[in-house]
Structure formats: C-alpha cells, structure tokens
Amino acid sequence: MHCLTRSHVHAGADYHSFLPFLKRLPEAFAQQEGELLYKGRNELRLLRYQEVELVVKAFQIPNLVNRIAYGLFRSSKAQRSFEYAERLQQLGIGTPQPIGYYTERKNLLFHRSYYVSRRSVCPYTFADLIQQPFAEEEAILQAIARTTAQLHEQGLLHKDYSRGNILFALTEQGVKVEIIDLNRIRFKQIGWMEGCRNFERLPLTDRMLHTLTIAYAQARGFDEKQCLRWMQAHHTNRL
C-alpha cells in the first residue's frame, strides 16, 4: 500500500531563511547530526545553521489514538511549543527564541513533529540550584517566583513545572529566568492554592520554600502567611 507523506513547515517572522534547515530535520535526526543533548521519550539535539546554535526537540511518535487526533483535530506538540513560546515573549516572559516547527503526517495519521529554538543563554537549571551552592540563591528564587507569578497572572499554568524546565542566568542586570518545554501549558484562571501547588515538583529546603512562597505571594498580592502555611503543609518534595 502506497504511503502518502505530507509535511508542514513553519518559520517565525524573522526566520524565513531557516526554512531549508527546518525541511530537512527528519534527515538530520536520521543521520544523528549535531550533538545529542537528551534521548528518552523525546530526543533533543544541538545543531547549527547560519552560525546560530539551535536546540531541536523531536517528539516521540504518539499512540494510534493521538495519531488520529493530531492528524485531524489537534495541533502538534511542536506547533504548540512554538506558539506558546511566541506568546510568552509577547508577554515579556523569558523563553528561548522560537525559530519554527516541522510536522509530518503519513496518510491521515500524524507521524512526528520537531520544534526548533535558539539555544538558551541561561547556563543553569533549577536542578543546579539544589546541587551546588549559589551566593545569590535568594535572588534566584525570588526571580523564579516572580516569573511564575507573571505566568499565572496571565492565565498560563505550566503542567510540567519541574527542575529541568526552569532555567536561569546571573547577569549584571540581575537574574534572568527562562521557561522551557511549553507544550503542556494550560490556559485558565489560577488562584492562590493552585498557584502554590504548581511548585509541587520542585525539590525545596525549608529555607528555599519560604523564600519562593513569600516572593510569589507578594508578586500576586496574596496573603503571605496563608500561602506559606499551605506550602509547609502540602509541599512533599522537601530536601
């Protein structure tokens, strides 16, 4: 049976010259080009094009039900990643510069998708914050709390808010924070309790929990003592 393969390629407004790069992403991954950054359910590779370092995320081929859904009804994870990154940037929330995405369908079924962004300028993740001492720990946590508050005030709830998806850098202007892995963002009103619960996957010492919670409550105008009591009672990922 003949298999009809169709692809859709999209580049951001300032990156139309990257279309040739985007179109050959399946070939680049098949030939294992660039540097492998991560390989699990999904695969991340560091590639270069026009002297720009790019991080490409190849999403795993979904199960049959989702192949039908993505093929006919839903946007791919790569497309959502791109669109949500653009939205965050429009809101002034840090995330690596989105470049574009590639989606591929075979017959009517969705097959695979790739999301491309510039390499982040942030050298650290939240995981680094718990693995090594930072003299600026308090300022880093406060910056992360404010960024999270900004997300929530805009009705954006990151459903995979984990230690590897929060990046930061120490600059002369202060702490820079970037959020990645955006395809699982949900859009809704977020109250104080759900907002605090969004930190539940982050490993925290008592001191870190206190700093993060107070800064988050202040940024959103919530009762600091109420938020802190809730976090102390319900945050189970403690160091």
In a domain? residue 112? yes
Q: What pLDDT digit, counting tens, does each position of 50-92 carry? A: 999 999 999 987 555 555 555 555 678 999 999 999 999 999 9
- Last residue within a domain, chosen from 66, 92, 118: 118
Of residues 159, 150, 140, the one with CA closest to residue 212? 140
Q: How many residues are listed for the chain in this entry?
A: 239
**Residues 114 and 147 reside in one and the same domain:** no
- Last residue within a domain, chosen from 118, 148, 177: 118
**Residues 172 and 93 reside in one and the same domain:** no
- How many domains is the chain partitioned into structurally? 2
In a domain? residue 63? yes
In a domain? residue 149? yes
**Residues 15 and 114 reside in one and the same domain:** yes
Pairing mode, strands 35-39 and 43-49? antiparallel
Distance between alpha carbon 139 and the CA centroid of its chain, in Å? 22
> b vs e for 65-94, b when ≥16 Cβ sit within 10 Å of the residue's Cβ?
eebeebbeeeebbbbbbbbbbbbbeeeebb
User: Residue 156: which CATH number?
Assistant: 1.10.510
In a domain? residue 19? yes
Count other Cβ atoms within 10 Å, centred on residue 145: 22
**Residues 19 and 85 reside in one and the same domain:** yes
Q: What is the mean pLDDT of residues 16-35?
A: 96
User: Residue 49: which CATH number?
Assistant: 3.30.200
**Residues 200 and 128 reside in one and the same domain:** yes
| CA separation for the pair 122, 55 (Å, rounded) | 13
Q: What pLDDT digit, counting tens, does each position of 192-239 carry? A: 999 999 999 999 999 999 999 999 999 999 999 999 999 999 999 988
DSSP state of 29: H
Position 104 confidence tier, pLDDT thresholds 50, 70, 90: confident
* pTM, two decimal places: 0.91
**Residues 135 and 189 reside in one and the same domain:** yes
In a domain? residue 239? no
**Residues 42 and 88 reside in one and the same domain:** yes
- Mean pLDDT (the chain) is 92
* Residue 156 structural domain: 124-234
- Last residue within a domain, chosen from 89, 118, 147: 118
| CA separation for the pair 182, 185 (Å, rounded) | 6
**Residues 28 and 108 reside in one and the same domain:** yes
Coil, strand or helix: which one is 13? coil
DSSP state of 60: P
